[in-house]
Structures are given as structure tokens and as C-alpha cells.
Amino acid sequence: MDLNILWALCPILFIAGFIDSIAGGGGLISLTAYSAMGLNGFYILGTNKFSSCIGTTVASVRYLKRGFYDVKSVISACLGSFIGSYLGSNLVLRVDEKAVSWMLLILVPIICVFVLFKKDFGEKPQRFFDFPLVLISIGIGFSTGFYDGFFGPGTGLFITLLFTGIVGMELKKACGNARLINLASNIAALYTFILNGQVYFYIGIPCAICSVLGNYFGSGLVMKNGKKIVKPIMVLIVFLLLLKVFIDLIFRG
């Protein structure tokens, strides 16, 4: 593969990391970029996991330093996410992802309506279910981790929405939780792809550096502006995710 494609990939991976650190969903951009540049099959997923995993680490550290996370929920959710992602990434190597695409085609518009019309989104903490926080967090971590290992795009967005909508967590803490939980799922999935030789490191390493820079600047914006920056990015990611799923189903059968 021509290494000159890195000149095109690196700026795109910066943008993907920037968006991913704010609301999740950077994989929509990075996966499309890798595919457009000629990577094939599971190498797209593996190389993307490598670059995004390193970038997410930087954003996670920034959220940790500022205290934008909830200890009890994030530890239990990370455990569930790691296990779910390991199972999902092993499964994706064996089955078709079309069923997930159809599920998202139904789910994504509902999410979009929720984000657009819930005016107090992420501002007024209110528990939706009265189950123990640890159990809810494990469930969120496992389900989103499985999705991340199996399919991927929009995982951080889903985690943030679940912690704000179900747990009733304040938006900045939900974003911090999302980065840490997403990091756990990325590590588990990356381990699987490396084990199966599905990572182009000579592409992934320079792209990871750009992802790190994007994650650094994006997480800084969230800490300063909170809802003002997160909600518009979430809406954008929801629309991009819906568009990607629709195109995949229509044109790839």
C-alpha cells in the first residue's frame, strides 16, 4: 500500500479523534477513511481500533485528572465493557453484521429525537430505574462493549446517552465515563484483532498520533463548554450514523 495515503488519512484521523473525545462516533469518520484509502476487510476494523485506542487513552487521562467520572459506575461498567467487547470482536470475525445494521436503522432516529427535544439533557440528574448503580453500569458496559467489538461506530455516544438518560448522570461526568468505558472495550477488541493479525501498524501508528492530538483538544473543549459543544456534536454523529447504516444496507445489500 502506498504510504502517501497517510497525508490524506492523518488529518481525517485528527478530526475523528476530536469528535470522538467530545461525543463519541469518531469511528464513523475513521472507518470510512480507512475504507476509502483501500484497506480491506477486518484490517479496517483492526487498524481503526489501534489508532482510536491510543487516542481515547489521552482523552480518558484528561477526564480522570479533572474528576469528570463516577468511580463506582465506571469501574463496574469498564469490567462489563471489556468482557462484552472481547465477545463481540470474536463474534464479528465469524458472522454477518447486517442484523446490527437493521437494528441501528430503527434505533438511531429514536436517539436523535431524544437528543434534539430533551431540553434538560445532561443537566438535571434523575435516575430512570431504581436498580443498584453497579448492576445498571455493568449492563451498560457489557451491551455497549459488545456492540463496540462487533460493529463499533457511535459507541461513545450510546454510553453517554445511557448514563444521562438511564442513570441520570450529569453530562460532563457521563462523557468522562464514556471515554473510560470505551477505552476498556477498545483494548479488548484490539487484543483480538492483533491476535488474529488484522492490524496494519505502519498505518496505525502515525494515525494514532493524529488521533491523540484530536482527542486532546476535543476533551479540553468539553471541560470548558459542556453541553454547548457536546449536544450539537451528538446530533451530528447521530445523523452520520444513520446515513452510514442506510448506505451500507442499500448499496452493500
Extents of the domains making up the chain: 3-251
User: In sequence order, what are the residues at sequence separation of 6 or more whose Cβ sits closer than 8 angstroms to the Cβ of residue 83?
Assistant: 142, 145, 188
Q: Which of the two residues, 6 and 2, has the higher pLDDT score?
A: 6
For residues 25-34, average pLDDT: 82
pLDDT for 190: 92
- pLDDT digits 0-9 by tens, 143-186: 999 988 887 777 888 898 889 888 888 888 898 999 999 999 99
What is the pLDDT, as a whole number, of residue 144?
94
The pLDDT of residue 26 is 82
Judged by DSSP in three states, 149 sits in helix
pLDDT tens readout for residues 40-88: 777 888 898 999 899 999 999 999 998 989 998 999 999 999 999 999 9
Angle, alpha carbons 140-144-147 (nearest 5°): 155
pLDDT score at 60: 93
Instruction: Decide if pLDDT at 128 tops 60.
Output: no
Lowest-pLDDT range, 129-133, 194-198, 214-218?
129-133
For residue 117, what pLDDT is reported? 61
Query: Mind listing the pLDDT tens digit for each residue in 82-119?
Result: 999 999 988 877 766 566 556 656 666 666 666 556 55
Mean pLDDT of 187-202: 91
DSSP-based three-state secondary structure for 221: helix
Q: What is the pLDDT of residue 167?
A: 86
What are the Cα distances from residue 93, in Å, to 32, 77, 150, 205?
19, 24, 8, 23
- pLDDT score recorded for residue 237: 75
d(CA 241, CA 253): 17
- This prediction has a pTM of 0.82
